[in-house]
Chains A and B, each alone.
Chain A
Amino acid sequence: EVQLVESGGVVVQPGGSLRLSCAASGFTFDDYTMHWVRQAPGKGLEWVSLISWDGGSTYYADSVKGRFTISRDNSKNSLYLQMNSLRTEDTALYYCAKAAAGISYMDVWGKGTTVTVSS
């Protein structure tokens, strides 16, 4: 069974840092692009970042560019999101998602991990 399990979400103060993790199983992790998507409380979905299968290409939403860094460790079947200079507007449920073939839409999603930025 294809599975994605996010972790690392906590309450953090504005200006703080956090690293989210996503453990993948049930598929050949290093064959696929991976995404992070977030959803603020009561709001819609916002794409955050993607990383290609080999880590060679990364893209970010303008709202997080320069503050967040996506990475992966294919030897550990894991995806990461390093979040620096956190703002209250970064408060959200963060989903890890697997892309379908190539750099494309998300066909498998995790259940998410909650990040709360508050003083």
Chain B
Amino acid sequence: DIQMTQSPSTLSASVGDRVTITCRASQSISSWLAWYQQKPGKAPKLLIYKASSLESGVPSRFSGSGSGTEFTLTISSLQPDDFATYYCQQYNSYSSFTFGPGTKVDIK
């Protein structure tokens, strides 16, 4: 099975900061990667699919990049609404749509 890791596990940042989260796959997943945002008590929300495609309605300050085994999610200027936990997920393998362990972005 494909394993996913994320770093850092927690990130403290201020409003206006540029934030980057890294996601790594244990084997190549081409560009079959999605990013989700989850706030406490809420369902996850899709941000990015196919590594770099922005979901409709998601602010353009969110961007994704990467292919193969290494991917990044970047928030260009952190806003108060962005404090949340972020998960990457691979969908290269139908047998296991593995999520990363998550990165919590909190207020510095």
A interface with B by C-beta (< 8 Å):
35, 37, 44-47, 50, 57, 59, 61-62, 95, 100, 103-107, 109-112
Q: Given A44-B102, A105-B34, A105-B89, A50–B43 Cβ distance below 8 Å?
A: no
Q: Verify if B71 is at the interface (C-beta below 8 Å from A).
A: no
Would you call B91 and A45 a contact (CB within 8 A)? no
Q: Say how far A98's CB is from chain B's closest CB, in angstroms.
A: 10
Would you call A111 and B43 a contact (CB within 8 A)? yes
| Known contacts A59-B95, A105-B46, then 8 further A-B pairs from the complex at CB < 8 Å, ordered by chain A residue | A50-B97, A95-B44, A104-B49, A105-B34, A105-B91, A106-B36, A111-B43, A112-B43
Would you call B98 and A50 a contact (CB within 8 A)? no
Would you call A47 and B98 a contact (CB within 8 A)? yes
Separation of A44 and B99 alpha carbons in the complex (Å):
8
Number of interface residues of B (CB under 8 A): 23
B interface with A by C-beta (< 8 Å):
1, 32, 34, 36, 38, 43-46, 49, 55, 87, 89, 91, 94-102
Contact of B49 (CB < 8 Å), options: A45, A62, A100: A100
Residues of A within 8 A of B99 (CB): 44-47
Contact of A109 (CB < 8 Å), options: B1, B45, B101: B45
9 A–B contacts from the bound complex (CB under 8 Å): A45-B102, A46-B99, A47-B98, A103-B94, A105-B34, A106-B36, A106-B44, A107-B55, A111-B43
